[in-house]
Structure 1
Amino acid sequence: MNLRYRTSTYLLVAALLGNSCAKQITADFPVGKPESIIAQEDIDSYAPLLSYLDKEANADFRWGVAVNISDYLGKGVMHRLVNRNFEEIVTANAMKHFSIVQNDGSLNLANVRSLIELAAENNMRLYGHTLVWHAGQNAAYLNGLIAPVNVGGPSWDVVTAIDFETDDNANYLYTDNVEASFTADGQGANGQGRALKVTNSSVRTNDWDVQFFIRLDQPVAVGERYELSMDVRSNAAASYSSQAHRVPYEYIHYDFFGNISTTPTWTTYTREITVSEDMAGAAAIAFNLGLNATTYYFDNIKVSKFNEQGGGGPVGDRGYALTLTNPSVVNPWEAQTAYDFDAVDAGTAFTLSIAAKGSKAGSIGVDLQNSADYSGNSFGNISLSTDYQEYTFTLTSTGLRNRFIVNHGAYDGTVYIDDVRLTVAGGTKNLIANGNFENGMGGWIGWGNGSNRQLSADGEGYGGSGGGVIEKTPEEKEQIISQALETFIAGMMEVTKGHIKAWDVVNEPMSDWPDQYALKTGVGKENMAADEFYWQDYLGKDYAVKAIQYARQYGDPDDKLFINDYGLEGGGDKCKGLIAYVEYVESKGVTVDGIGTQMHIDINTDKDNIVRMYELLAATGKLIKVSELDIGLGNNTQTPNATAEQYAAQAEMYQFVIEKYFEIIPKAQQYGITIWSPLDSPNAEYSFWRRGEPVGLWTENLVRKPAYQAVAEALQKQK
């Protein structure tokens, strides 16, 4: 197509946009069609933007757009506009930390999976945004990981416990249309005691047509935290939901403690919740067993309530601990206490938290092991004092692991351990089923018995000898936050591997002022936003190194990994500062494939500065991406106040930015350009970006603007 437009055309169409609300007057005599109408009709006759790309000559260049995931998944107007005009999409928020990481640390990747499937159906590429940023984070979760520990707690107080060793416990019941009985002694969880078995003979219409209930000793209240733990299995693989009931058969909320999956092998199901308004008042849990014709087994059901203050009260509130006694110093492994759990494969990231003290100062070790060949990994040593302290460790296993070990041979005294919690990355289940020792030691199959291992007296457990807190050390915080970063990136890559081939791994690292060669920091910042968390404040200058290492480890080896920032065209040192940081990161042995420049600019941005930025970026030899291009009218000009001259200037600036990219960035370094706001931004509460500004290529009503024509011209000039 021969593109004919110049500034005069931009002005004509812009004038039409500015007067689109004028009342139409019908004349009784022939009149000529206004020039502005003709100009708009010409723009409307243009082909979709994708048609102006020469993909044979520029196969690696990506023409992209940002879109809300709900707009794309909804398959409406925006879905069609994106598919017709662009070849790569980036979601505004759907892949950011706060959209993925839940308050319990688990990852919700359902929307990302749906997006991957739909994008594949439409032959649409996806760009990953973003893995590490200071905003858009689940800061409450991250800050909770490194929060100070109350010396006296907090603790989990058991409110309901059922082990089915007797049949006269009124806390459980079941519906009349199922068979319920007890197993023989020795057929309970871990081959001990007995369990309750409930048989559903046929598949029912609704899952709630067969229900098994547990009564709670007290109703739950809004904001309280509870944990359900129980040993479960079924003759055939099954899955069942849980409901909240005020009393049995008085339903108030469908999802209470989640969905439970079972197999013929005993497993321990653990789920923590925070009580919402629609759960409040519940004093019974219903398990809906109607959709599977099988026999279900239940044992060791326990519901615990979180006590923020812990054992600040009477000594008796502290419960039990495990004591380990060693009379003389020997090799560390010559006095061991072990707990076996279901085997976990190599390459798994584990987190251990444990409370411990000793009869004197000293040191013990904590390890993971394979019980078959005794290979293992060490969490490290615990430096004991005579007061309880809480310790947190992480490691990634190098082989199959199924045993937790405490080595205390080098400590001649008595060790107290309590609240042992062992979890895997992305999970909340405690692999140590009886880590608080409130239900004993579990015999040889649990923590074992013997003269050197005993249950403490009631009140000697971890739980509070007074107030005060213990701050985690910088080293502990670094280890914990590093693990959290690895868990997030590993989870993202597990789902997106093979589908997303390029990522903003690190977003907006550089400071704005006064030193644009320095990293941003939250240190000393007041009134931090709820989603702000500065990874670099805990991981140091190498935080980008870690992020890239994890992305390489868990992603595909040929993924393109970018560091992205804004304001590089500002004329200061920020572009040079970012380039220097990329050089530093690569000096640590990792590869940065590309640099992204956001370019949230306006019609008054200095064009010479844009050129200088492109020249600096081109000189790096890296892939260069204009990652978030949108152009406003300056001075926060709102759509109702926009003039024809401003719209014309906007079109010229879009064309300048794109043409200079193709002119200055060598072809081999041209990753692509992404339009960040395809439509003008609405002046509405839900508008999160440049609210009310006419920054797009289309109006809010999907009318093409002069900027659309300018972009088409610029794309056609791609060499």
Structure 2
Amino acid sequence: MKLNKIILPVMACALTLSGCYDEKMEWGKPDGHGDVNISDIPLALKEKLANYDYIKAYAKQYAPHMTIGLGLGADQYISDPQYKQVADDNFQLFTTGNAMKHQAVVKSDGSLDFTTIDAFLQAVPTDIKIYGHNFLWHTQQNQNYLKSLIAPTMKVESSGGVANILSGDATDFNGGTTGGWGSWGSNKDSQTIEEGAGSDGTPCMVLKNLGDGNAWEAQCGYTLSDFLQVGKTYMIKFKAKSTSGAGYLQFQYQNGTTYGSQGGYNDFNIGIDWNDFEYEFTPDYEDINRIILNFGKVGATYYIDDIQFGLKVEDPMTNVLSGDNSDFEGGTKGSWGSWGNNSTTSVSASGEGYNSNYCIVLVNPTDGSDYYAAQLAYTFDDPLKVGETYVIQFYAKTSLTGAGVQFATQNSNDYSGEGYHAIPLSSEWVLCEHEYTCSKEGINRILINFGKNAATFYLDNIKFGVKKATARALTRGTSITYVPKSAEEKKAALLSAMEAWIKGMAQHPGMERVTEWDVINEPIGDNSKWRGFDNTFMDGDSAPVENEESGLTLNWGNEAGNGHFYWGYYIGKEYATKAFEYARKYCSTGTKLYVNDYNLESSPNKLAALIDFVQYIEDNGQEVDGIGTQMHVSSSITKDQVDAMFKTMAATGKLIRVTELDVQVGTTTPSAEQLATQAEVYQMIFDSYRINVPQAQQSGITIWTLTDSKKEHEYWLPNDAPNLFDANYERKHAYKGVCDGIAGKDISEDFSGDDWKNAYETEGEETPAE
């Protein structure tokens, strides 16, 4: 028998170990008796504890039909050899406190991180079982990811412009380089340029974030050649998408040498589809020469393309052109027509537009007599208003430096015109703009004449409309609209995520060792109703708050960073049936599936509701193998309460497991009397379980955490001493209570002084001479 090393005990006679021999001598030879032997001496409590075998030895001897488990911290088990040794020596099954929960495994892009789980599986001896905890809960869920699945689709439309000072790869990355953008930070994984990954099939910049953190822990910046001008309005525009619907980028500026003068912060919510983003700001400092996109907040991969940065260009008109009539991004010429001088008009190849995919291309094969020899025209349904001032604006370049185009207007019926204005061009894109006041009746056509010079002309972002009375210097030319998902779309998205999560966990290599799972944890509220229904949420929670404008679900009422998410709120009661359906489908054959809840020993109504919950699942075609009762109890719990709970649970015919047993004493420094009471409660619970639950239904009992150390109780019961071992891994009185409860008797009644002597010798100590 493996015995625990004896600590010098404080016996009733307050003697040391060697003093016990003295005590034997003092006993002498009582009347009518022979000599007193060492085996006749009663043992003190610490000596008894030292003589107890490991817990799992008694489980194998007295209760081989069930397993005695331990709830533990995976990280501490992996890193602390002493913690691991005591756990391995005493228990047959392990439940990780947090390592297998949704929030610990699911990243913000929906991928699964098995780093901790794999290390844990490798460390646990193969003869120790692992209990899965858990698939679905109402807290410790990756809320960012789940919310992103049901968030409305965001559409961004911009009417503002920017005088872009970036060029080449710094804007579109089409040359295969970053163009001067650099990245750094503790949360940065990589920065690459990926061919074909851009919104138009061309290259784009790809930033990978290691995991959730602070936004500034992964940064991508561009250092400008000159300082920005104080008091001027600047704008950054870019296209982006993420592998996570909860993707997040943040803009800021700073001085690239001192890293000071920081400001201009703005947050962007980046979804899984390409979208346009923009932000404008006015610098507060005179030494700003770096712009930064921070990508460290949400663990995901970010795709960024078509970055423009520079002074904001206000639209001086109310543009009446839209879609392909303005930007040609649909790949057509819209309603523009052309003629004259054997010229041709077409849409460019992808990537040839002004910081965009497409533009319109005008080819004049020979010099003409005048600009009007070749014309590009757009005809309105209604004529322009006489006396109204209009503005034409577009970006253009030409294959022949010095060649140009001409703006004009016309009556499409009699071809009379006015407003002629020549615009010289170069081989680089330039912004062209001209004001025109209509003076003739019937003007209903605008022209861009290009017949004078034999050349190719590229035009993009053509805008035309009535001149605005005043330009608003700080107006964001951006319209953001949200398209909410229907209830069915939300349900479908979450069910898909639920199935992917359960499948990913159950089929991960090594997880076949998990032969029992808490499929749904704590489904019943303290009011005995299903959580997530009828405003039954976690204590203090309410229904999710929704933004009136966007319909975006923001937070549960009392989120406080705990990852609250109620699957049933969006899926309905079917969430419970589906969870068991997926678990049964993907877990190894023979895996036992449980529901698990707390306060069942003190709330008969809640227990009844949980049993009804199980019945609902089975009435809808899925089997529940077992019911778990957590049993976080205090030392004041009564035997009648515990007996009643076990009898009610046993009547279901299901496997019954105590999943998270601990006994609170109300202090971190309990007295000997309090420790004795705690031991009695532990033993009483084991006795009640053994007596009231038939053997065929006895899955076993799991003790929740190993020791009373502060490290294990930083968050859970921080002001208590609820466990079987003290902070120094010494057995407490409760250890004896558990062993006696497993055996159904006081094991120490069979101990004697010889056992104490043998225990002392087993540890290699020199036994005092008799």
* Correspondence 1:91 to 2:96: yes
> Structure 2: how far apart are the matches of 1:43 and 1:321?
84
Q: Deviations over 1:152-180 (max 9, x none)?
A: 3699x99856778769996599xxxxxxx
Q: Deviations over 1:103-154 (max 9, x none)?
A: 232211111112112224x532111101100111122332233234445369
Which is higher, the Rg of structure 1 or of structure 2? Answer: 2
1:485 equivalent in structure 2:
498
1:638 equivalent in structure 2:
667
Which of 509, 514, 517 in structure 2 is aligned with 1:503? 517
Q: 1:282 to 1:647 in 2, by over 3 A?
A: farther
Q: Which amino acid aligns with 1:491?
A: G
Q: 1:93 to 1:704 in 2, by over 3 A?
A: same
Q: 1:513 to 1:189 in 2, by over 3 A?
A: closer
> Structure 1: how far apart are the matches of 2:12 and 2:329?
80
Q: Which amino acid aligns with 2:498?
A: L
Q: Which amino acid aligns with 1:565?
A: D
Which of 144, 148, 153 in structure 1 is aligned with 2:148? 144
The 5 A counterparts of 1:54-133 are: 54=60, 58-120=63-125, 122-133=126-137
**Unaligned stretches of 5+ residues in structure 2:** 4-8, 27-40, 183-194, 205-219, 228-235, 243-253, 259-287, 294-302, 333-458, 464-475, 544-555, 746-770
Q: Deviations over 1:229-265 (max 9, x none)?
A: 99xxxxxxxxxxxxxxx999x9xxxxxxxxxxxxxxx
The 5 A counterparts of 1:587-666 are: 587-633=619-665, 637-640=666-669, 642-666=670-694
Q: Which amino acid aligns with 2:69?
A: G
> Structure 2: how far apart are the matches of 1:117 and 1:172?
41
- Greater displacement, 669-678 / 476-485: 476-485
2:59 equivalent in structure 1:
53
> Structure 1: how far apart are the matches of 2:675 and 2:734?
8
* Correspondence 1:561 to 2:566: no
* Correspondence 1:529 to 2:542: no
1:675 equivalent in structure 2:
703
The 5 A counterparts of 1:325-336 are: none
**Partner of 1:547: helix, strand, or coil?**
helix
Percentage identity across paired residues of the two chains: 32
Q: Deviations over 1:499-521 (max 9, x none)?
A: 21111010000011265899643
How many equivalent pairs are there? 473
**Partner of 2:122: helix, strand, or coil?**
helix
The 5 A counterparts of 1:187-266 are: none
Measured after TM superposition, the shift of residue 685 of structure 1 is 10
> Structure 1: how far apart are the matches of 2:133 and 2:289?
41
Q: Which amino acid aligns with 1:717?
A: G
> Structure 2: how far apart are the matches of 1:149 and 1:193?
22
Task: Report if aligned partners of 2:706, 2:724 keep a CA contact under 8 Å in 1.
Answer: yes
* Correspondence 1:545 to 2:558: no
* Correspondence 1:701 to 2:732: no
> Structure 2: how far apart are the matches of 1:554 and 1:305?
48
* Correspondence 1:40 to 2:46: yes
Task: Report if aligned partners of 1:128, 1:503 keep a CA contact under 8 Å in 2.
Answer: yes
Q: 1:88 to 1:666 in 2, by over 3 A?
A: same
Q: 1:513 to 1:164 in 2, by over 3 A?
A: closer
Q: Compute the TM-score of the two structures, normalised by the length of structure 2.
A: 0.52
**Partner of 1:54: helix, strand, or coil?**
helix
> Structure 2: how far apart are the matches of 1:689 and 1:710?
23
- Greater displacement, 643-652 / 465-474: 465-474
1:400 equivalent in structure 2:
none
1:690 equivalent in structure 2:
717
Q: Deviations over 1:83-109 (max 9, x none)?
A: 000011011111111111122322111
Q: Which amino acid aligns with 1:701?
A: N
Measured after TM superposition, the shift of residue 668 of structure 1 is 1.1
Task: Report if aligned partners of 1:229, 1:302 keep a CA contact under 8 Å in 2.
Answer: no
Task: Report if aligned partners of 1:227, 1:303 keep a CA contact under 8 Å in 2.
Answer: yes
The 5 A counterparts of 1:572-591 are: 572-591=604-623
Measured after TM superposition, the shift of residue 698 of structure 1 is 0.9
Q: Deviations over 1:310-362 (max 9, x none)?
A: x999989999786499xxxxxxxxxxxxxxxxxxxxxxxxxxxxxxxxxxxxx
Task: Report if aligned partners of 2:63, 2:742 keep a CA contact under 8 Å in 1.
Answer: no
Task: Report if aligned partners of 1:614, 1:665 keep a CA contact under 8 Å in 2.
Answer: yes
> Structure 2: how far apart are the matches of 1:708 and 1:63?
13
Task: Report if aligned partners of 2:133, 2:518 keep a CA contact under 8 Å in 1.
Answer: yes
Task: Report if aligned partners of 1:14, 1:647 keep a CA contact under 8 Å in 2.
Answer: no
- Aligned CA RMSD, in angstroms, stands at 5.4
**Partner of 1:90: helix, strand, or coil?**
strand
Measured after TM superposition, the shift of residue 303 of structure 1 is 7.5
> Structure 1: how far apart are the matches of 2:569 and 2:114?
27
Task: Report if aligned partners of 1:162, 1:302 keep a CA contact under 8 Å in 2.
Answer: yes
Q: Which amino acid aligns with 1:697?
A: L
Q: 1:565 to 1:320 in 2, by over 3 A?
A: farther
Measured after TM superposition, the shift of residue 586 of structure 1 is 0.8
**Partner of 1:703: helix, strand, or coil?**
coil
Task: Report if aligned partners of 2:528, 2:606 keep a CA contact under 8 Å in 1.
Answer: no
Task: Report if aligned partners of 2:507, 2:586 keep a CA contact under 8 Å in 1.
Answer: yes
> Structure 1: how far apart are the matches of 2:480 and 2:328?
20
Q: 1:115 to 1:638 in 2, by over 3 A?
A: same
> Structure 1: how far apart are the matches of 2:723 and 2:175?
70
